[in-house]
Structures are given as structure tokens and as C-alpha cells.
Amino acid sequence: MHYNINFPHLGIHLDHVGKSITVFGFEIAYYGIIIGTAILIGFLIATQEAKRTRQNPENYLDMGIIGVICGIVGARLFFVIFSWDMYKDDLLEIFNTRHGGLAIYGGVIAAVITVFVYARIKRLSAPQIFDTVAMALVNGQMLGRWGNFFNREAFGEYTDNLFAMQLPLDAVRSGDVTETMRSHIQVIDGISYIQVHPTFLYESLWCCAILIILFAYRKHKKYEGELFLIYLFGYGLGRVWIEGLRTDQLLIPGLGFPVSQLLAGTIVVVTGAMLLYCRKNHKRMPFLKSGKKYEPMPDKPEGKKRPKAKDRLFK
């Protein structure tokens, strides 16, 4: 296998882009390192946002651990369900995530369910939680896409645009290579390359733009849940376009239509309508107001008892 990755029109030629590193005899995939780093940064973003909005950061640490586990399971299940032909003859391969195979929408759906359940149990405001984790989620998607870069996956059809990416033919899955790509194969120094849309890069940059918008708008939001709706609307809008470029789409059985593209389009329509409606009517919707606020426990005064936990919560 050859490890070159080129962006010819940008003058970028990477001679050796491996998929993993070896530490003390253990092979660690870059995909896993990137996902792990994105999770840690996500925890930091969510807890800092919780402090800024006077919520209890510990709730997000507890919920984050549960959410990460459920999110990975959900992302894997989503991928497996719509790629069943890849796993039906080897069920144990379902548990092997070292070669990728995580669908973002499955992770988001699992995370949303986790928030609703956690908020219900803890009697917290679900819309407020969604707003607090929105930036952490889009950050994870922005960074996570670079795992696809190292795995040589989730790329688009042939292109000759400015950002065109060249991958060695023997470094990608044969099922992701289309006839159009094969008809435009270039042989450089004896190596056959396909030239494709770097859709991982498009999505990463799109998510970066959404993250900047959320950070800039968070102090101006009108109601709890608005940031999360903007995130869903913005991400779905980009995904409708980007998913149409990819050659490894998960298809709806019997219809042959990309499930992520259909889901993204539905999310854009639904969240767009919700944004317009809530913008005009949020004052009449009490569940969109902030939940209980958290006030950190002060240091114990000399000769006095520390206040009870319940006294640190106020409307």
C-alpha cells in the first residue's frame, strides 16, 4: 500500500500519511486519537459554557460520560443498519471500529435521547442542556472528520477543482471507487491515483464556520434551545450538499436514496420552521426558559456551617 496524499492544485504533496502509530508495541489509530481529543475538548467547551451560564459543570461531566458511550454505540448502529451487507456474514466485525464505520447522525440521535433522559431524571432544562453542548458537538464533528482523512474514506466523486485530492488506488476501498474515478486515474512515478473531492475537508470547514457563528451569537440568543436549533439547521444545510458528493453513501434499502441526505434535508426543514416559530412565540413557551441556576458553594466561613446543596439552587 502506498501512503501518499496529494493536493496538486494547492502544491501540497504528503509522502507518508500513516493510519496509526505504535506506542510501546501497541498500535493506536489516528482515527481514535482524533476522536478521543475531540471528546476531551468537547468536555472542556461544555463545562466552561455551563460555568458561564451559571449551571453546575459536574452535571455535564456525568452526562458527558454517558453521552459519549451512547453516542459511539448509536453512531455504530446507524452505520451497521444501513451497511448490513458488510456485516451479515461476519457479525463479530460489527464490534471492530478500528477501520471507521461511525455515522455522525446516529451519534447525534443517541446524544439527543441521552439528554432528554438525563434532564428528566435530574429535573433540568433539556433545551438549556442542548444549547450548552451544541458547540461541543459541532467541535467534535469538525475535528472528527480528520479521522476520515487518515483512513482515506468519506471522499467524493472525481473533481479537478482547486481542492482536488489525489489518493493511491491501492489505499482506498474498491467499493468507494466509481467508474468516473477509474476513467480519470493518473499514474505518477508508477503509482495509480484517483482524484476526488475532499469532502472531509469541506465538512470540517463548514463545521468550523458553524462553531464561530454559535460562539458569536450565544450571548444574543432569545430563548433556551435556540443555539442547538441553529446548529442542527446549519449542519443539515451543509450535509445536504456534501453528502451528495460522496461515493460511500449509506442508502435506504429498496429506495437507493442516501439516508443521511434525506435526514439532513428533513432536519433543515423542521428546524428552520422551529426557528421561525420559536422566534415569534418563545415568550409563551415556558419550557424554553432557563432551568435552575447553580451557585458554587462558597468557602466555609469561620465558625459557620457550609450551606446545604439545596440552598445553592435558585430560580
pLDDT tens per residue, range 120-138: 999 999 999 999 999 999 9
pLDDT of residue 307: 55
Each residue's pLDDT tens digit, 28-40: 889 889 989 999 9
Quote the cell numbers at residue 54: 451559571
Query: Which pTM does this prediction carry?
Result: 0.84
Q: How confident is the model at residue 92 (pLDDT cuts 50, 70, 90)?
A: confident
pLDDT value at position 283? 87
Grid cell at residue 292: 435552575
* Coil, helix or strand at residue 289: coil
Higher pLDDT, 209 or 101: 209
Q: Are 125 and 119 in contact (CB under 8 A)?
A: yes
Collapsed DSSP state (helix, strand, coil) of residue 15: coil
Q: Do you know the residue count of the chain?
A: 315
Q: Is 145 annotated as a binding residue?
A: yes
Cα gap 242→79, rounded to integer Å: 18
The predicted structure's pLDDT at residue 253: 77
pLDDT band of 313, cuts 50, 70, 90:
very low
Contact 85, 79 (CB under 8 A): no
Confidence band, pLDDT 50/70/90 cuts, at residue 315: very low
Q: Please name the residue ranges forming H helices in the chain.
A: 30-52, 57-81, 104-122, 126-151, 179-183, 199-217, 226-243, 259-281
**Binning pLDDT at 50, 70 and 90, where does residue 100 land?**
low
